[in-house]
Amino acid sequence: MNSLEEIVRYLHDHDNYVIVGHEGPDPDSLGSMLGLFFGLSKLGKGCRLISADPLPPYLSWSGLDQVEQLGAEFAPGESTVIVVDCEPQRTGSVSSGVLQAKSLINIDHHQRERGLGDLVYVEPAEAATSIIVYRILRLLGVPFDKDIATALYGGIVGDTGGFRHANTNSEVLSIAGELLDYGVDPSRTAREIFSMQPLGFLQLLGYALSNLHTAHDGKLVWLAVSHADFQRFDVVPENTDHLVSYVRTLDSAEIAMVFREVSPGVTRLGLRANHVDVGSLARHFGGGGHKLASGATLRGSFHEIVAEVTDVAERYLATGEINGRDH
Ligand SMILES: [Mn+2]
């Protein structure tokens, strides 16, 4: 792994960049992208912003209109590609272009192996990739302004669940406080991230919560939303990552899980825990993430996936061991 200083030296010495976030972009992915975009632009660098998937419709941050939505046609040319908030392989339909980059930088905070990239900085102890970008911009001597601060603050709010998750600490709050001083509107940011649900989503949520399942004295709780459910309520499955935040509010919950059949035969599993390591649970199913927040994508029959994962999770809660199928 490289040091932050090595990343900063490279950024200082080179001129053209393409910044890419993960598929299904979230506030931290976009905040990191925009923070770097504004910061490097201020230093006179050429910058493009690329996303494989559409942006969340409710964010009003400046710079989002600069994001180009591209697919397999994406080709980085001579520019250095910077992948933020995920592994280069998780950039969706632009990943083949990303992996062809002549120079690749990866900046992330998810627990994992070093992975691909000429320069890689991965720090799982950081609450958000936006905080790593904050540090990079400070080391580069970039003058901060409202646009940079709004993006980075939004990324931090997103990944800390509005300063409620276990990754919130005094340094996170002090960086957030510093960013607020550049004119960020905290209530607008919070409302855009957490309180802009379309009617169909709330109706789907009501339906899904009425079918909430629990096991192991309520320590395991899960919600399963099939592709047909999404269609019935006219909800785009990719925009429903946050379903798990409702499930985890159950008083007895130790592990909260949401199964979303995002397309027929493809299920996204979201996992949250209060103490237990659900990162290893996700890795067992070919996914990844943090100790208390992780996920995986599984293929096959939706009902069989739900049955198998809940079975393994229940055994994990009971014995502390992950058994089941081999990977
Ligand atoms: Mn993140």
Give me ligand 1 centre to Cα 131, in Å: 9
- Helical residues (DSSP H) of 181-327, grouped into ranges: 186-194, 199-209, 227-232, 243-247, 278-284, 302-319
Residue 325 belongs to a domain: no
Half-sphere exposure of 101 (CA within 13 A, CB side): 26
Q: Residues 178, 219: one domain? A: no
Picking from 194, 215, 235, the residue at the C-terminal end of a domain is: 194
- Tally of structural domains, the chain: 2
Residue 319: CB atoms within 10 A of its CB come to 9
Integer distance in angstroms from the first to the last C-alpha of the chain? 26
44 and 74 Cβ atoms separated by less than 8 Å: no
Give me ligand 1 centre to Cα 29, in Å: 6
Give me ligand 1 centre to Cα 262, in Å: 21
Q: What is the largest CA-CA distance in the chain?
A: 58
Q: Residues 185, 97: one domain? A: yes
Q: Residues 139, 244: one domain? A: no
Q: What is the pLDDT along the chain (327 residues), one digit of tens a residue?
A: 999 999 999 999 999 999 999 998 999 999 999 999 999 999 999 999 999 999 988 999 999 999 999 999 999 999 999 999 999 999 999 999 999 999 999 999 997 889 999 999 999 999 999 999 999 999 999 999 999 999 999 999 999 999 999 999 999 999 999 999 999 999 999 999 999 999 999 999 999 999 999 999 999 999 999 999 999 999 999 878 889 999 999 999 999 999 999 999 999 999 999 999 999 999 999 998 889 999 999 999 999 999 999 999 999 999 999 875 444
Q: Residues 239, 181: one domain? A: no
Residue 57 belongs to a domain: yes
Residue 326 belongs to a domain: no
Residue 76 belongs to a domain: yes
CATH number at residue 159: 3.90.1640.10
Half-sphere exposure of 10 (CA within 13 A, CB side): 22
- For residue 286, the enclosing domain spans 199-319
Q: Residues 223, 290: one domain? A: yes
Segment 238-247, tens digit of pLDDT:
878 889 999 9
Sheet strands (E) in 21-148: 46-51, 67-69, 80-84, 103-108, 119-122
Residue 327 belongs to a domain: no
Segment 9-52, tens digit of pLDDT:
999 999 999 999 999 899 999 999 999 999 999 999 999 999 99
Q: Residues 190, 283: one domain? A: no
Give me ligand 1 centre to Cα 85, in Å: 5
Q: Comparing C-alpha atoms, which of 156, 127, 111 is closest to residue 291? A: 111
Q: Are strands 103-108 and 80-84 parallel, antiparallel or unpaired?
A: parallel
Residue 38 belongs to a domain: yes
Q: Residues 179, 209: one domain? A: no
Give me ligand 1 centre to Cα 128, in Å: 5
Give me ligand 1 centre to Cα 75, in Å: 25
Residue 324 belongs to a domain: no
Q: Residues 21, 136: one domain? A: yes
DSSP 65: G
Q: Residues 244, 142: one domain? A: no
Give me ligand 1 centre to Cα 129, in Å: 5
235 and 256 Cβ atoms separated by less than 8 Å: no
CATH number at residue 232: 3.10.310.30
Which is it for the CA torsion 137, 22, 282, 257, positive or negative?
positive
Give me ligand 1 centre to Cα 204, in Å: 26
Give me ligand 1 centre to Cα 83, in Å: 12
Picking from 161, 177, 194, the residue at the C-terminal end of a domain is: 194
Q: Residues 9, 71: one domain? A: yes
Q: Residues 187, 212: one domain? A: no
Picking from 176, 194, 212, the residue at the C-terminal end of a domain is: 194
Q: In what order do the strands lie in the sheet with 103-108?
A: 67-69, 46-51, 16-20, 80-84, 103-108, 119-122
Give me ligand 1 centre to Cα 319, in Å: 30
> 231 vs 59, 185, 204, 226, 263, CA distance in Å?
24, 35, 10, 9, 10
Give me ligand 1 centre to Cα 217, in Å: 32
Residue 309 belongs to a domain: yes
Q: Residues 209, 305: one domain? A: yes
